[in-house]
Amino acid sequence: MLVLWLSSAVLTYYLAFRFANYAYDYSLMDSPHDLAGQIVVLNGKASLDLPLSARQIFLSDKMDTIYYNVARRDRTVISGEPDLPLPDVIRKPGASTVRNGIFRAQKVRIASLSYLPPGLSPDQSVLIQVAETLNKRRRMAGQIIATMLLPQLLLIVLAALIVWTGIGKGLAPLEQLHRGIAARSDRDLSPVEEANTPQEVRPIISEVNALMNRLEKALEVQRRFIADAAHQLRTPLAGLKTQTSLALRQAVNQDTQHSLAQIDASADRTIRLVNQMLALAQVEPGSDRLLELKPLDLGRLVRETVKEWVPAVIKKDMDLGYEGPNSSVMIDGDAVRLKMMIDNLIDNAVRYCPKGSNITTRLEEADGSVTLTIEDNGMGIPPGERDAVFQRFYRVPDNPIPGSGLGLSIVRDIVTSHRARISIETPMGHSGTSVKVTFP
């Protein structure tokens, strides 16, 4: 738009100059006529009767310098500047022309008049030229432009402003839409709000919503399948486990006993895997729809869950304790999922710690956030593996303890759905693992 304006400015300048010329040419063209009035015939030749005072008046001009020249046909100069350039074509007497020219390295405007003094023959006509510099014209052109362009500029700026805000307002809902969608978690498939969007975009949004709906249904079908499959596996596994337990009690010889023990261990692993898969299907983001974060007492939940674990831990000669307030610690959360998370974390600590280890659950409140820490002095997780362990089915290489690889994935999904953060660290002062979950 600026380019347009600049070119318009240039054009306007030329036009303005042209009009300025028209304006001043009128009076310039009069000047040769004035001079012609002063031509007298002396001794059969034309000559100029221009007293000094008259000349001074003639030549005076506030802004420009005026030159003149009166010459006979034979090129003899009667008066004025001798080197004023001649026009290319000399017209018949009576015709005056005006043209641009250069005189003494200045641009000038020259009016020429061919004049035949009365009583003389045509070959005795004289050429009267008056030239003036262009200052007046330039100034007028400048003024024209200024008066024209300034409002033009203002108008343009105003128009630009109006268009800008107009477009901005029009695009604002789109921008909002864009930000809203971009801010979604990568599993959020809820429909996009159609109500406040501009009409042009509505068909697109409606299609997007339909697409997400189809996607959601497909994912739901998949989830259901996993959940159903896991359930279906449980009864045969129960049969397997029961028969193995019975057989172990009756085992006749060591070899049979050994094999049965292996079968039993494998059955346990399978059972654990099935349980974890089911748990994961329950807490996966996407099943988020059923998630409601309500105020709950995390302190009580932690204490109660830890109490449930104590007997099992004692059987393994480990020490499980709680550090933290005995009062309520309120956060917004889903009790079932949080219990699952705590169970998984304590279970990990129990399985990865040798006999005689200490496991501590700690609850701290600071700066409006609540941190739950499960700390043990067992095997620990190498720093390089601390991000990878959250992946599904990931097991640290050379990990001797059997496990499904899903425990921390479940924990991470629950943490995410509560908008909390989780980190794995080394405890202060001793080796082992410290898992911290911080709630906003």
Question: CB within 8 A of 221, min separation 6: which ones?
Answer: none
Which parts of 334-363 interact with another protein (CB under 8 A)? 336, 360
Least Å distance between CB 314 and another protein? Answer: 7
- Tokens found for residue 284: 């996966």
Query: How many CB atoms are located within 10 Å of the residue 36 CB?
Result: 21
By the 8 A CB rule, do 406 and 419 touch? no
Q: What separation in angstroms does the CA of 74 have from each of 85, 96, 114, 125, 326?
A: 15, 19, 13, 10, 126
Query: Among residues 241 and 421, whose Cβ is nearest to another protein?
Result: 241
23 is an interface residue for another protein by CB under 8 A: no
258 is an interface residue for another protein by CB under 8 A: no
319 is an interface residue for another protein by CB under 8 A: yes
246 is an interface residue for another protein by CB under 8 A: yes
The rounded distance, in Å, linking the Cα atoms of 304 and 302 is 6
Query: Among residues 192 and 271, whose Cβ is nearest to another protein?
Result: 271
User: What is the DSSP code string of 153-179?
Assistant: HHHHHHHHHHHHHHHHHHHHHHHHHHH
The rounded distance, in Å, linking the Cα atoms of 283 and 406 is 12
83 is an interface residue for another protein by CB under 8 A: no
Query: Among residues 43 and 235, whose Cβ is nearest to another protein?
Result: 235
271 is an interface residue for another protein by CB under 8 A: yes
229 is an interface residue for another protein by CB under 8 A: no
Query: Among residues 128 and 313, whose Cβ is nearest to another protein?
Result: 313
Least Å distance between CB 229 and another protein? Answer: 12
Query: Among residues 212 and 237, whose Cβ is nearest to another protein?
Result: 237
Binding-site member from 237, 291, 296, 388 for another protein (CB under 8 A): 237
Binding-site member from 184, 234, 258, 419 for another protein (CB under 8 A): 234
409 is an interface residue for another protein by CB under 8 A: no
242 is an interface residue for another protein by CB under 8 A: yes
Binding-site member from 82, 321, 382, 383 for another protein (CB under 8 A): 321
327 is an interface residue for another protein by CB under 8 A: no
- The number of residues in the chain equals 440
Secondary structure of residue 370 in the 3-state scheme: strand
Binding-site member from 94, 168, 236, 440 for another protein (CB under 8 A): 236
Least Å distance between CB 320 and another protein? Answer: 7
Binding mask 276-315 for another protein (x = CB under 8 A): --x------------------------x--xx--xx--xx
Least Å distance between CB 287 and another protein? Answer: 13
Q: What separation in angstroms does the CA of 293 have from each of 166, 191, 241?
A: 41, 21, 37
Query: How many CB atoms are located within 10 Å of the residue 418 CB?
Result: 20
The rounded distance, in Å, linking the Cα atoms of 283 and 277 is 10
Residue 91 burial (C-beta neighbours within 10 Å; 0-12, 13-18, 19+): middle
Least Å distance between CB 385 and another protein? Answer: 29
Q: What b-and-e string marks burial along 97-120, b requiring 16 or more CB atoms within 10 Å of the CB? A: bbeebebeeeebbbbbbbbbbeeb
By the 8 A CB rule, do 40 and 46 touch? yes
Sign of the torsion formed by the C-alpha atoms of 246, 249, 250 and 252: positive
Query: Among residues 34 and 319, whose Cβ is nearest to another protein?
Result: 319
322 is an interface residue for another protein by CB under 8 A: yes
The residue among 62, 76, 89, 81 whose CA lies nearest residue 130 is 81
- Tokens found for residue 248: 């172990």
153 is an interface residue for another protein by CB under 8 A: no
43 is an interface residue for another protein by CB under 8 A: no
Count of residues near another protein by CB under 8 A: 36
326 is an interface residue for another protein by CB under 8 A: yes
Query: What letter represents residue 435's amino acid?
Result: V
Q: How far is CA 366 from the centre of its chain?
A: 35
Which residues of this protein are in contact with another protein, per CB under 8 A? 231-232, 234-243, 245-246, 249, 267, 271, 275, 278, 303, 306-307, 310-311, 314-315, 317, 319-324, 326, 336, 360
